[in-house]
């Protein structure tokens, strides 16, 4: 497999705050890569660097075979980025905005019209096509935003929190679209706060914390790194009060049980680790992996 995105040694400082302190990442062509991390970890900054909007202080980046510094136009021509929304016109209709984008992307009049109609249909925006954008709901705007991204048929797509604030049905639609794009051979780098979605849709997951990548791998690899079983303590009302990852051995389980010596009531169960556990284990310092629920 060839890589669609390669970044080596990315650094970015704002004032005296080091946001990215040497980030390496590789995204294989035709895969979904999910970037996770707590608020302010630098996910959006990373996406903005990879998509030429922000210049890194150091590091090299290649996107779709184009060098970020040597050939930024080549990178821009090959990518799509959501969140360009501020640049579109709220007084124009959805269709007009898409047409505008088709012109910016140098599609001919005919090809442009065809692409716009296709995207309006695909994103369930046919009915709203002739209405001004400022009347759209959040979910409709998000769908139009993604449609705008796809006008130029990009090979690499950056989605910064594409499903935040969407209702479950719109979220589902968004993930179906991601899967279709993938089937078309597109490469996707996305950020998300919804770990179960990353688990479902991503081939590889990377966790950004304290300016560095603190974990990277397939969802299954990352989960197995946290441990094999998680001891869950339920209070008398059935609510989860504590979760302790174990290594799956009898000794590990005994140690976890010793950890709950103070628990006098309620029930105990064991479950497989989730990506939430990975996130907490990797982004909590020091390695305090036990999660208290209050
Ligand atoms: N233009 C800027 N000027 C100064 N500081 C900035 C700028 N852009 C981002 N930062 C800072 O860089 C850090 C990382 O921000 P970034 O938006 O990349 O985080 P994020 O991981 O996307 O967070 P979130 O989950 O909240 O979206 C934050 O501390 C932020 O305040
Ligand atoms: Mg962000």
For 105-144, write each residue's pLDDT tens digit: 888 999 999 999 999 998 889 999 999 998 998 888 888 8
Residue where the block lists tokens 């007009």: 96
Residue 276 has pLDDT above 60, yes or no: yes
d(CA 142, CA 138): 6
* Residue 95 CA to its chain's centroid (Å): 27
> Which of these, 239, 234, 223, 237, lies nearest to 276 by C-alpha position?
223
Confidence of residue 33 (pLDDT cuts 50, 70, 90): very high
23 class by beta-carbon count within 10 Å (0-12 exposed, 13-18 middle, 19+ buried): buried
Ramachandran assignment for 9, one of left (phi > 0), alpha (psi -120 to 50 degrees), beta (any other): left
Task: State whether the beta carbon of 285 lies less than 6 angstroms from ligand 1.
Answer: no
pLDDT at site 289: 53
d(CA 188, CA 5): 10
Task: State whether the beta carbon of 135 lies less than 6 angstroms from ligand 1.
Answer: no
Given the DSSP bridges, would you call strands 3-14 and 187-191 parallel, antiparallel or unpaired? Answer: unpaired
191 CA closest ligand 1 atom index: 22
| Distance in Å, CA 210 to ligand 2 centroid | 15
Ligand 1 pocket test, candidate residues 19, 37, 50, most atoms within 8 A of CB: 19
Q: CB within 8 A of 103, min separation 6: which ones?
A: 112
Given the DSSP bridges, would you call strands 17-28 and 3-14 parallel, antiparallel or unpaired? Answer: antiparallel
Q: Which of 12-16, 237-241, 261-265 has the highest mean pLDDT?
A: 12-16
Task: State whether the beta carbon of 43 lies less than 6 angstroms from ligand 1.
Answer: yes
E-strand stretches of the chain = 3-14, 17-28, 32-36, 58-63, 66-67, 79-81, 156-160, 187-191, 204-209, 212-217, 229-234, 240-246, 267-271, 291-292
Ligand 1 pocket test, candidate residues 41, 51, 160, 214, most atoms within 8 A of CB: 41
Domains and CATH numbers, the chain: 3-217 (3.40.50.300), 226-292 (no CATH)
Residue 290 has pLDDT above 80, yes or no: no
b/e 45-70 (16+ beta carbons within 10 angstroms → b): bbbbbbbbeeebeebebbbbebebee
Convert the pLDDT of each residue in 92-109 to its tens digit: 999 999 999 899 888 899
Convert the pLDDT of each residue in 36-91 to its tens digit: 998 999 999 999 999 999 999 999 999 999 999 999 999 999 998 876 454 567 78
| Distance in Å, CA 44 to ligand 2 centroid | 4
Specify the residue with its C-alpha closest to ligand 1, atom 18: 42
pLDDT at site 32: 96
Task: State whether the beta carbon of 170 lies less than 6 angstroms from ligand 1.
Answer: no
Closest ligand, as measured to the CA of 193: 1
E-strand stretches of 82-238 = 156-160, 187-191, 204-209, 212-217, 229-234
* Region 156-181 average pLDDT: 86
């Amino acid at each position: 497999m060839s890589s669609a995105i390669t970044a080596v040694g990315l650094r970015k400082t704002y004032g005296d705050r080091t946001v990215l302190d040497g980030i390496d990442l590789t995204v294989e062509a035709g895969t979904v890569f999910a970037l996770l991390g707590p608020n302010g970890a630098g996910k959006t900054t990373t996406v903005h660097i990879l998509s030429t909007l922000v210049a890194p202080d150091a590091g090299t980046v290649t996107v779709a075979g184009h060098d970020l510094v040597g050939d930024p136009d080549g990178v821009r021509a090959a990518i799509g980025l959501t969140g360009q929304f501020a640049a579109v016109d709220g007084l124009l209709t959805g269709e007009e905005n898409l047409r505008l984008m088709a012109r910016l992307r140098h599609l001919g009049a005919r090809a442009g019209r065809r692409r716009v109609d296709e995207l309006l249909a695909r994103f369930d925006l046919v009915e709203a096509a002739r209405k001004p954008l400022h009347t759209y709901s959040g979910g409709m705007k998000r769908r139009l935003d993604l449609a705008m991204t796809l006008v130029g048929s990009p090979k690499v797509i950056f989605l910064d929190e594409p499903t935040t604030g969407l209702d479950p049905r719109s979220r589902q639609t968004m993930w179906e679209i991601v899967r279709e794009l993938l089937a078309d051979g597109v490469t996707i780098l996305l950020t998300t706060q919804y770990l179960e979605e990353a688990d479902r849709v991503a081939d590889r997951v990377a966790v950004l914390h304290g300016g560095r990548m603190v974990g990277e791998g397939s969802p299954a690899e990352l989960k197995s790194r946290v441990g094999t079983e998680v001891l869950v303590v339920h209070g008398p009302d059935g609510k989860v009060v504590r979760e302790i990852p174990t290594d799956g051995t009898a000794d590990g389980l005994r140690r976890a049980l010793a950890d709950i010596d103070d628990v006098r009531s309620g029930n105990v169960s064991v479950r497989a680790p989730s990506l939430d556990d990975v996130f907490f284990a990797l982004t909590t310092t020091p390695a305090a992996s036990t999660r208290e629920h209050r």
